[in-house]
Every structure is written in structure tokens, then in C-alpha cells.
Structure 1
């Protein structure tokens, strides 16, 4: 009986530690990012915010760029960084480099016109290409 009890306690402990160490998917609560092709995210995000409230405060500074529609991909790109899609591996899925480049090519010149540089945290070289053997979030294609 002691062996069975130890086995059950050990199993429970391992599962508890695993759940504590591995973040889980959570519904997206940032209003800016609620109308996406996905609705679950994982924290910490790609810029190391631990909670969605912090991510929401930062992503909101880009709202004017989305509002003027300098790039049709800007909102999706920003949300894929600040509320990355949650996957079955329990890690945030980064946006693909081409999604970043589309957002930057559309909105970067407007930012420069007003004296702002494209932020280092959104540097497109940080994001993978779909063909690099790394999973990334690509813009959904229309059918």
C-alpha cells in the first residue's frame, strides 16, 4: 500500500509541477486583439509580458497605425506578437517573417514621416520564414 501511495503522490506532484512550469492557453482578453482568426493565446508572450494586461497596454500604442490602415496586416502582426497564437506544444507561435515585412512595409514609412523608427522589438529579422523548418503564424489565405 505504501508503494501505491508513493506512486500516486509522485504522479500528482509531477503533474502539478508540469502544469506550473508550462504555461497554458488562455482566451484572448485584449479588446484590440479579439477579432482574430484565432482566440487563444499564451503568456509570457514574444516580448516577455507575463500577463495580458501588460501586453494590452503596450500594443494599444499602435492603435493609430491600425486605424489609418497603413497595412492590412498590421493588426494581425501586432496581435501575433503581443497575443501569440497558442499551440499544442505550450509555446507561443511567432508570426512569420513575411507577415512582419508586410506590416513594416506598409506602416514603417508612415512612422518615419512622423519621426518614429520601426521598434527593435518588432524587428522582422527576429521572426522565422515558413520554410526554415520552424513553425510560425502565417496570414490566413482566402478560399
Structure 2
């Protein structure tokens, strides 16, 4: 496979590589990259299967078939879809242009003669770009994606050259605080609901800057929509923190006269603000999201981000 060494871009060159290197049948029973200790040692022959339309993480990724089991030890498509759905909001945040490429190389690896891992530099670039977004929601970069597990010199999947300035920041990069940049779209609202442990309707009493965060104090009158692990004693004097949000813009916190849909998670001893929307009864998308909230099934983030 000397002709197949080097970094593998996502689009046309990758498809050309697939034609040159892919085998019609997978004859091996096991494979493990020495540079990827977290990879799978397969107990049954891997198969090429179509990427389903409802695998939203990898929609439009540039190829139609994936390897199953994948490189994150998911043996069934149901497990792939459940775990991958946790990452869809991160891709939508646009924290790095290679986020989808990196994640889909693991969740939905392209069918080749042997599995090809993402390049270590791509992992590091996505990690460095997206970790601040994840931390704002109380999630660490997961151990299963530790970047030193991925290859540096062997064949690997890339998107742009590691020294490219395009890889460091998306063209439409915005400094808006991550919990505040929510679109008034049903799916976006539900995704933020799922990334939150609790949700409520309330007005804001006071906002103050505190140790690099913003401290958000709610008025006493609140209506719970999703309780999570929030107790009544916590609700009475609920204070939320916008993590690392002292200086980033949040339009919702500039006008304290409105009712808001407020979402949060408890992380250690703090309640983090993970999402905030103006309570807009005139928005069809907003009303649809609130109606769907009671029956919407969320991915289990705790199984992914650990």
C-alpha cells in the first residue's frame, strides 16, 4: 500500500483512494493500529454498510458507506446513531472546520482495505478549537478521543494541511457566548435541552461578572419544564454561571425585562447556564420545541463524555 500512504483529504482524493485501495470483501478477522490503543480488535468480520440518512452527525460527509463495527467499538448501527447524536450540537457550533471530518472518521469510518484513522494533528486542532465550547456546557474532552492515540506519520485522514490558517477557525467564527448563540429552530432548541439537565421559564433579576464568568441570578417566580436533578431548595435560590463568559456577547442577558427559557447543568458545586432563549410565543419553532420536550428522547451524554 505504498501508493496509499500519507494524509487523506476528505473529498475527491479520498474517493480516488477508496477506488484504488478498497477490497470487495473483508478477509481479515482482526485489526489493531499500534498507534491507536483504544481501537477495536474485531471478533467478527467488519462489513461495509450504507450510512443511514438519520445518522445526522455524518450527513453530507462525502462518502456513502461506512465500516461496522466502527473505530469506537460500536457494533450495531443503533449504538452508532445513539452515541453520534451527542456530538451533533458541537458540529453545529462551528468550533473547527474539521470537526465533522474527525468525528465521522471514527463513528462512520470509510470502507477501505484497512481502517484509516484521523491524523493526530487534526485531533489536536479540533480538540483545541472545541474544548472551550464543551467546557461552557460542563463537558470535558473525553478520554476516548485522547489525541496521542492517533497516528502522526502513518496513513491518516486529514482535511487541510496542519499549518493552514483555515484549520484554526471557521470563516463564520463568532465570539458570542456558546449558550447564547442558539438559533430559534426546533431542532437547535431540543439539542440544547438535551445538553442540559434542567430547563425552566423565568425572568432574570441580576447579572454580574465574577472570576471570568457571568453570574446570573433568577427572579423567585419560576416554572420548571425539565427538573433533572434540581431540588426544590436549589430552585429557590438558583444562581447560574456562564462559564468563561465575562466578556463574550450574550444579547439575552442585556435585556432583563423578558421571560426566558433557561437551561442548565450542575457541574461540581456550580449550576452552569447551558442555553437561553427569549420566551417567544409568536415563534412557531419555539412553540413546537416546547411541545416536543415532554416526549423527545435525548442521547445519553454521560456515556460519551467521560
TM-score range, shorter chain: 0.7 to 0.9
Deviations 1:12-51 (A, max 9, x none): xxxxxx5884222222122321311322211111110002
Q: Are positions 1:136 and 2:156 aligned together? A: yes
Q: Are positions 1:119 and 2:139 aligned together? A: no
CA contact (8 A) 1:85 1:137 kept: no
Cα distance between partner residues in 1 of 2:138 and 2:58: 26
What TM-score comes out, normalization by structure 1 length?
0.73
Higher strand share: 2
Within the candidate set 119, 132, 136, 1:96 is matched to 119
What TM-score comes out, normalization by structure 2 length?
0.36
CA contact (8 A) 1:52 1:83 kept: no
Within the candidate set 78, 98, 102, 1:53 is matched to 78
Cα distance between partner residues in 1 of 2:58 and 2:136: 26
Shifted more, 78-87 versus 18-27: the winner is: 18-27
Who wins on radius of gyration, i.e. which is larger?
2
**What runs of 5+ residues in structure 1 fail to find an aligned partner?**
1-17
Higher helix share: 1
CA contact (8 A) 2:47 2:69 kept: no
Cα distance between partner residues in 2 of 1:27 and 1:34: 12
Q: 1:135 to 1:50 in 2, by over 3 A?
A: same
CA contact (8 A) 1:33 1:79 kept: yes
User: How many positions carry a matched residue from both structures?
Assistant: 119
Cα distance between partner residues in 2 of 1:115 and 1:40: 34
